[in-house]
């Protein structure tokens, strides 16, 4: 039985040093906790078969369809420090082909690999549920992201600070190629970088394959993808938490949801990750960190950009310099859309920045304040400095009137980009607590149902309001 999977693993066409074939460790008593019917249907998979007893065996790797799975080798700058890495607890089952598109299907938490170092290769239940919830919410919010097909209990216990249930996340992505994969390749050889770049171009940007300057076009495309992605994050108040180069996907998808969180009360200095003690990856730093990561990626392509190293560096620098303008364009477009303006003008930058300053000075909730504007409920926004806020509101209304659109169209646009609900930290943590501590998955299932429709105001107020003081979550954890 294939369960609808149409696997081919072109990654194995690369030299063997890029991966290690590895069989998943056996799970003693698989049980599917979450299954993404919408995603399965969009991929042409057999939902009924995958939810059967034999389907559980596939989703934990007890039964293998096709070739032996593989763990990918890669490197990365983690908090600025270069490290040799690899899939220490994940295995690529294969590349599923559906309607001409190719998708990596990966098991996360399936056991030790050649790159596990001292880890056991397993994953606790909580972090796998967390990635499922947030990655699927991100998809519904229109953010490029890896997807979650299923979370399956293994039936086994793993030891961390205490004994925990282990689970496997079945993850789907355009690919799992990372900036760190190229950093690994450059350590191997110049030939390895060329081999990997040709593969990545063929996989993600086949229109470039026959171009004379294909590597330059490839770098440019990755810069575009990342600037678009980070602008989306910033517009929604999303904080990734560990923007290491091994967590930057070449596809432009958000990958590896560890200590991530959505900001509640607007503060550009917000940090959630318990391990980011220096605040390297705080909210306001994310655009700059993305450019830094892109610079490390560009360094690996230098030998391919031109035979003359100085010329190659000049080309790379030019593409990297474009990032700031691209990011600013995407960010400003996102932000003026949140204010009901379709096409930004230079004067709108000041309008946006003034509003963000009000959010910060007043300690306003990022999501609910933008939603209040969208619903024409400006009176619901409580501020101390009414004079400043009212002056800004006049500027905003003037900007709306300048646009060649009706007020109805403006508010319709705003309601389509300003969510009513997001995966607020306190809601996610509450749901995970009940799931992990009491085997009650109803709150997780409820959140997943709500986040399928994040722009709907009919959700219960409990899911829309910001956290009370006693509900605030200060730290999030990687959950390895």
* Residues 135/254, Cβ–Cβ less than 8 Å: yes
Q: Give SS3 for 453.
A: coil
* Residues 42/95, Cβ–Cβ less than 8 Å: no
Residues 373 and 338: their CA atoms lie apart, in Å, by 9
* Residues 6/65, Cβ–Cβ less than 8 Å: no
Annotated binding-site residue numbers: 86, 88-89, 108, 120-121, 171, 178, 247, 256
β-pair type (90-98, 7-8): antiparallel
Residue 84 bridge partners (DSSP): 75
Of 454, 220, 244, 263, the closest CA to residue 366 belongs to 263
Q: Which residue has the tokens 């900007």?
A: 399
Give residue-wise pLDDT tens across range 249-287.
999 999 999 899 999 999 999 998 888 888 899 999 999
Residues 410 and 341: their CA atoms lie apart, in Å, by 6
pTM over 0.85: yes
Q: Give SS3 for 428.
A: helix
**Residues in Cβ contact with 459 at an 8 Å cutoff, skipping those fewer than 6 apart:** 420, 421, 450, 453
* Cα dihedral value 158, 160, 165, 170, nearest 10: -90
Residue 223, both tokens: 């810069």
Where do the DSSP E strands lie in 133-232? 147-159, 163-173
Residues 34 and 20: their CA atoms lie apart, in Å, by 29
* Residues 218/233, Cβ–Cβ less than 8 Å: no
Annotated binding-site residue numbers for Mg(2+): 247, 256
Residue 221 exposure: Cα atoms within 13 Å on the Cβ side: 19
* Residues 351/342, Cβ–Cβ less than 8 Å: no
Give residue-wise pLDDT tens across range 9-66.
999 999 999 999 999 999 999 999 999 999 999 999 999 999 999 999 999 999 999 8
Inter-CA distances, 225 with 8, 203, 247, 297, 341, Å: 26, 15, 14, 13, 23
Give me the residue spans of the domains in the chain.
7-173, 178-418
For residue 464, count other CB atoms closer than 10 A to its CB.
19
User: Which residues are catalytically annotated?
Assistant: 246
* Residues 304/457, Cβ–Cβ less than 8 Å: no
- Each of the 480 residues of the chain gets a pLDDT tens digit; together they read 689 999 999 999 999 999 999 999 999 999 999 999 999 999 999 999 999 999 999 999 999 998 999 999 999 999 889 998 999 999 999 999 999 999 999 999 999 999 998 889 999 999 999 999 999 999 999 999 999 999 999 999 999 889 999 999 999 999 999 999 999 999 999 999 999 999 999 999 999 988 989 999 999 999 999 999 999 999 999 999 999 999 999 999 999 998 999 999 999 999 988 888 888 999 999 999 999 999 999 999 999 999 999 999 999 999 999 999 999 999 999 999 999 999 888 889 999 999 999 999 999 999 999 999 999 999 999 999 999 999 999 999 999 988 778 889 999 999 999 999 999 999 999 999 999 999 999 999 999 999 999 999 999 999 999 999 888 877 777 666
Residue 276, both tokens: 């980011």
* Residues 92/441, Cβ–Cβ less than 8 Å: no
């Amino acid at each position: 039985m294939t369960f609808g999977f149409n696997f081919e693993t072109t990654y194995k066409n690369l030299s063997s040093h890029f991966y290690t074939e590895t069989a998943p460790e056996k799970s003693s008593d698989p049980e599917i906790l979450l299954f993404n019917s919408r995603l399965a249907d969009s991929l042409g998979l057999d939902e009924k078969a995958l939810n059967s007893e034999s389907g559980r065996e596939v989703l934990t790797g007890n039964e293998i369809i096709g070739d032996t799975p593989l763990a990918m080798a890669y490197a990365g700058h983690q908090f600025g420090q270069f490290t040799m890495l690899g899939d220490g607890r994940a295995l690529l089952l294969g590349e599923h082909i559906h309607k001409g598109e190719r998708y990596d299907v990966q098991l996360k938490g399936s056991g030790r690999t050649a790159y596990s170092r001292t880890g056991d290769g397993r994953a606790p239940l909580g972090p796998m549920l967390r990635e499922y919830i947030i990655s699927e919410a991100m998809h519904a919010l229109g953010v490029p992201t890896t997807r979650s097909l299923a979370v399956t209990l293994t039936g086994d216990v793993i030891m961390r600070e205490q004994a925990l249930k282990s689970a496997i996340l079945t993850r789907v992505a355009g690919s799992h190629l990372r900036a760190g994969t190229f950093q690994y390749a450059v350590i191997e050889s110049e030939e390895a970088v060329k081999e990997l770049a040709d593969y990545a171009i063929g996989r993600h940007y086949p229109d470039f394959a026959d171009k004379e300057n294909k590597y330059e076009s490839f770098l440019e495309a990755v810069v575009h993808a990342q600037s678009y992605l980070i602008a989306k994050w910033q517009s929604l108040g999303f904080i990734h938490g560990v923007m290491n180069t091994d967590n930057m996907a070449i596809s432009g998808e958000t990958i590896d949801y560890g200590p991530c969180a959505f900001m509640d009360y607007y503060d550009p200095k917000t940090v959630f990750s318990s391990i980011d003690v220096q605040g390297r990856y705080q909210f306001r730093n994310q655009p700059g960190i993305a450019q830094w990561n892109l610079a490390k990626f560009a360094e690996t392509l230098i030998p391919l950009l031109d035979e003359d190293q100085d010329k190659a560096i000049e080309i790379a620098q030019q593409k990297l310099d474009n990032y700031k303008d691209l990011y600013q364009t995407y960010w400003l477009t996102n932000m003026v859309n949140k204010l009901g303006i379709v096409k930004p003008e230079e004067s709108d930058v000041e309008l946006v920045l003034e509003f963000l300053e009000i959010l910060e000075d007043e300690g306003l909730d990022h999501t609910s304040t933008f939603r209040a504007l969208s619903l024409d409920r400006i009176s619901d926004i409580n501020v101390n400095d009414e004079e400043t806020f009212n002056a800004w509101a006049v500027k905003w209304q003037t900007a709306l009137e300048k646009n060649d659109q009706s007020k109805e169209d403006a508010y319709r646009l705003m309601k389509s980009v300003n969510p009513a609900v997001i995966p607020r930290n306190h809601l996610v943590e509450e749901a995970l607590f009940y799931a992990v501590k009491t085997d009650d998955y109803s709150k997780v299932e409820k959140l997943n149902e709500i986040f399928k429709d994040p722009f709907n105001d009919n959700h219960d107020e409990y899911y829309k309001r910001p956290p009370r003081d006693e509900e605030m979550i200060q730290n999030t954890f990687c959950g390895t």
